[in-house]
Amino acid sequence: MKTAFVTGATRSIGRSLAVAFSETGWRVYAVGRNRQVLADLRADYGIEPLAFDMTDRVELRSLTDGLDIDLLVHAALRWPDAAGFGDLTEADIDMGLEVNFSAALHLTHDLMPQLIADGRSAVLFLAQDAGRDAGVLQVTLGGALEACAGALEREFGPAGLTARCLHIGAELSEAQARDIAEQIDARFHEDGASMPQPSSHRKDNIQ
pLDDT tens per residue across span 151-186: 999 999 999 999 999 998 888 899 999 999 999 999
Cβ atoms 101, 125 nearer than 8 A: no
Q: What percent of the chain has pLDDT over 70?
A: 91
pLDDT at 1 over 90: no
Q: Coil, strand, or helix at residue 31? A: strand
Q: Coil, strand, or helix at residue 1? A: coil
Confidence of residue 129 (pLDDT cuts 50, 70, 90): confident
Return the exposure string of 24-48: e unless at least 16 CB atoms fall within 10 Å of the residue's CB, then b: bebbbbbbbeeeebbeebeeebebb
Alpha-carbon gap, residue 128 to 116, rounded angstroms: 27
For domain 3-205, which architecture applies? 3-Layer(aba) Sandwich (3.40)
Which is it for strands 48-51 and 3-6: parallel, antiparallel or unpaired? unpaired
A 10 A CB-CB count for 151 gives 11
User: Quick one: pLDDT at residue 145?
Assistant: 95
Domain segments of the chain: what residues?
3-205
Q: What percent of the chain has pLDDT over 90?
A: 61
Alpha-carbon gap, residue 92 to 74, rounded angstroms: 20
Question: Is 203 or 77 the better-scoring residue by pLDDT?
Answer: 77
pLDDT tens per residue across span 46-79: 999 999 877 787 887 787 788 889 999 999 888 8
pLDDT at 15 over 60: yes
Q: Which of 60-69, 97-106, 188-197 has the highest mean pLDDT?
A: 97-106
User: Quick one: pLDDT at residue 54?
Assistant: 77
pLDDT at 121 over 50: yes
Beta-bridge partner residues of 29: 5, 48
User: Quick one: pLDDT at residue 205?
Assistant: 36
Confidence of residue 207 (pLDDT cuts 50, 70, 90): very low
If you ran DSSP here, which 8-state letter would residue 101 be given?
I
pLDDT at 105 over 80: yes
Alpha-carbon gap, residue 28 to 89, rounded angstroms: 36
pLDDT at 17 over 60: yes
Q: Which is nearest to 141 in space by CA: 77, 52, 50?
A: 77
Alpha-carbon gap, residue 135 to 141, rounded angstroms: 10
User: Quick one: pLDDT at residue 36?
Assistant: 95
Alpha-carbon gap, residue 100 to 186, rounded angstroms: 27
